[in-house]
């Protein structure tokens, strides 16, 4: 199985609160969002943009997003959260049977061939989520008991967390086993992909991550940190504190809105090349720049600037690879550094190295709505899917 037909991420691992506060989406916005697992695109959809296009080079990620969207449209709230895996469910096969008829042919074939992923719950089926499952099964019990994990997750005051981490959690076994399991080799082969480190020059990935987890467990409130909760327990005790798309209050707005979402299979640059200038006002780029060489990074930014409206907002995270505005684009892109740092200070994901919010200084749009072409589009009921070759 190649990387491009395997689900890497069944959930989004960037903080949607950071993203929505940075992009400040409104009803006049046309948004381009990297797909990943779709969760953060759903968070943006809740802000009611004029249009939302989800782009991913990996078709399996789009099949995952399509299944989430179709189950949102088909099921009621309780069945939806149970079907995707956020709550126990003995009837996932039945829920899938209700949903599959509305899937496009490629997505239907993909999920028909993966009944075990359906039965387990699709939010648990990604390579990254399985990596954390191994951590919970084989590593964490050697370090801390379930009681100790519960003690950490129920700390109610930020003032308690640094002492708990330093005096209770951060013992010798934790540091030693963390170095092994979250080192470059196992993280690359079991969690992400070895190619993710092609441009990374860090001497020790595990040392860097160990420093970052001290921040997550010691300096960011853990009471609503569903990222840490899932890593340590594999579940969400309170869905009202989980990702916005899993909350009951957001279910009906998403059910009403997902039919307008456009899915695009291809690279970000390939898609942007089909657009006219001044077509996009907001970009969620996840950590896409982490996988690019400096030349590819600058080339992608050239295309982003070309299609951006004046002062379009662009948000992205970095993991191990620092990225800044290339010198040739200094007069076209403004790094909103102070706001980026303040947003990142409260970010709940411990493993990222930084968060960035940029303004693209493109020419103002000369007329009303941008025209966004749909070359080679395949139209399914309520869902547009564009494949770019």
Mean pLDDT, range 226-233, rounded to an integer: 96
Q: Regarding beta strands 333-335 and 354-361, do their DSSP bridges make them parallel or antiparallel, or are they unpaired?
A: antiparallel
Confidence of residue 207 (pLDDT cuts 50, 70, 90): confident
Topology of domain 3-125+249-387, CATH: Rossmann fold (3.40.50)
Query: What pLDDT sits at residue 232?
Result: 96
Q: What is the pLDDT of residues 322-345, one digit of tens each?
A: 888 999 999 999 999 999 999 999
Query: What pLDDT sits at residue 379?
Result: 31
On the question of pLDDT at 173 being above 80, the answer is yes
Confidence of residue 241 (pLDDT cuts 50, 70, 90): very high
Confidence of residue 258 (pLDDT cuts 50, 70, 90): very high
Q: In this predicted model, which residue has the larger pLDDT, 43 or 204?
A: 43
Asked if residue 152 lies in contact with residue 169, where contact means CB atoms within 8 angstroms, the answer is yes
Radius of gyration over every alpha carbon of the chain, rounded to an integer in angstroms: 21
On the question of pLDDT at 372 being above 50, the answer is no
pLDDT, mean over the chain: 88
**Residue 381: closest CA among 75, 112, 70:** 70
On the question of pLDDT at 285 being above 70, the answer is yes
Q: Tokens standing for 229?
A: 């909760």
Q: What is the pLDDT of residues 301-325, one digit of tens each?
A: 999 999 999 999 999 999 878 888 9
**Residue 89: closest CA among 81, 99, 101:** 81
Mean pLDDT, range 150-164, rounded to an integer: 93
For the ranges 130-134, 274-278, 327-331, 351-355, the maximum mean pLDDT occurs at 274-278
All structural domains of the chain with their residue ranges:
3-125+249-387, 139-244
Where b means 16+ CB within 10 Å and e means fewer, 197-212 reads bebeeeeebbebbbeb
Asked if residue 46 lies in contact with residue 244, where contact means CB atoms within 8 angstroms, the answer is yes
DSSP 138: I
On the question of pLDDT at 291 being above 90, the answer is no
Q: What is the pLDDT of residues 97-147, one digit of tens each?
A: 999 999 999 999 999 999 999 999 999 999 999 999 999 999 999 999 999
Query: What pLDDT sits at residue 362?
Result: 64
Confidence of residue 381 (pLDDT cuts 50, 70, 90): very low
Report the run of H or E that residue 285 belongs to, with start and end.
none
CA atoms within 13 A on the CB side of 96: 24
Query: What pLDDT sits at residue 31?
Result: 98
Q: How far apart are CA 243 and CA 225, in angstroms?
A: 10
Q: In this predicted model, which residue has the larger pLDDT, 194 or 362?
A: 362
Task: Give the SS3 label for residue 311.
Answer: strand
Q: How far apart are CA 31 and CA 52, in angstroms?
A: 5
Distance of CA 222 to the CA centre of its chain: 20
Confidence of residue 375 (pLDDT cuts 50, 70, 90): very low
On the question of pLDDT at 21 being above 80, the answer is yes
Mean pLDDT, range 360-368, rounded to an integer: 55
On the question of pLDDT at 195 being above 70, the answer is no
On the question of pLDDT at 363 being above 60, the answer is no
On the question of pLDDT at 365 being above 50, the answer is no
Query: What pLDDT sits at residue 368?
Result: 46
Query: What pLDDT sits at residue 169?
Result: 95
On the question of pLDDT at 198 being above 60, the answer is no
Query: What pLDDT sits at residue 367?
Result: 46
Mean pLDDT, range 176-188, rounded to an integer: 68
Could you tell me which residues come within 8 angstroms of residue 283 by beta carbon, excluding any fewer than 6 positions away? 31, 32, 33, 304, 308, 312, 313, 314, 315, 316
């Amino acid at each position: 199985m190649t990387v491009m037909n395997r689900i890497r991420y069944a959930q989004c691992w960037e903080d949607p609160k950071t993203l929505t506060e940075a992009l400040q989406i409104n009803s006049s916005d046309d948004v381009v969002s990297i797909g990943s697992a779709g969760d953060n695109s759903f968070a943006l959809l809740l802000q009611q943009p004029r249009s939302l296009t989800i782009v991913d080079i990996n078709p399996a990620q789009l099949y995952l997003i399509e299944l989430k969207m179709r189950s949102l449209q088909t099921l009621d709230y309780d069945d939806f959260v149970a079907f995707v895996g956020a709550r126990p469910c003995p009837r996932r096969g039945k829920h899938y049977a209700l949903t599959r008829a509305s899937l496009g042919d490629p997505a239907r074939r993909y999920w028909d061939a993966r009944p075990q992923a359906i039965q387990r719950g699709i939010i648990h089926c990604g390579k990254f989520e399985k990596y954390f499952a191994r951590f919970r099964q084989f590593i964490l019990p050697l370090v801390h008991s379930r009681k100790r994990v519960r003690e950490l997750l129920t700390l109610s005051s930020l003032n308690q967390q640094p002492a708990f981490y330093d005096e209770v959690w951060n013992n010798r076994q934790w540091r030693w086993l963390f170095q092994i399991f979250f080192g470059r080799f196992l993280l690359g082969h079991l969690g992400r992909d070895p190619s993710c480190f092609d441009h990374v020059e860090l001497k020790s990935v595990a040392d860097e991550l160990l420093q970052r987890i001290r921040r997550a467990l010691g300096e960011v409130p853990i009471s609503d940190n569903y990222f840490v909760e899932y890593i340590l327990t594999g579940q969400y005790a309170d869905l009202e504190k989980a990702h916005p798309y899993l909350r009951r209050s957001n279910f009906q707005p998403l059910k009403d809105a997902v039919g307008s979402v456009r899915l695009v299979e291809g690279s970000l640059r390939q898609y942007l090349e089909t657009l006219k200038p001044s077509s996009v006002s907001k970009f969620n780029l996840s950590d896409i720049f982490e996988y690019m060489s400096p030349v590819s990074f600058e080339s992608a930014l050239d295309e982003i600037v070309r299609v951006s409206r004046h002062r379009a907002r662009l948000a992205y995270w970095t993991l191990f690879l620092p990225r800044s505005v290339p010198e040739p684009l200094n007069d076209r892109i403004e790094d909103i550094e102070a706001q980026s740092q303040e947003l990142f200070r409260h970010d709940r994901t411990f493993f990222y190295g930084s968060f960035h919010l940029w303004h693209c200084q493109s020419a103002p749009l000369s007329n009303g709505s941008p025209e966004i072409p749909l070359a080679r589009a395949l139209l399914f009921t309520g869902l547009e899917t564009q494949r770019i070759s």
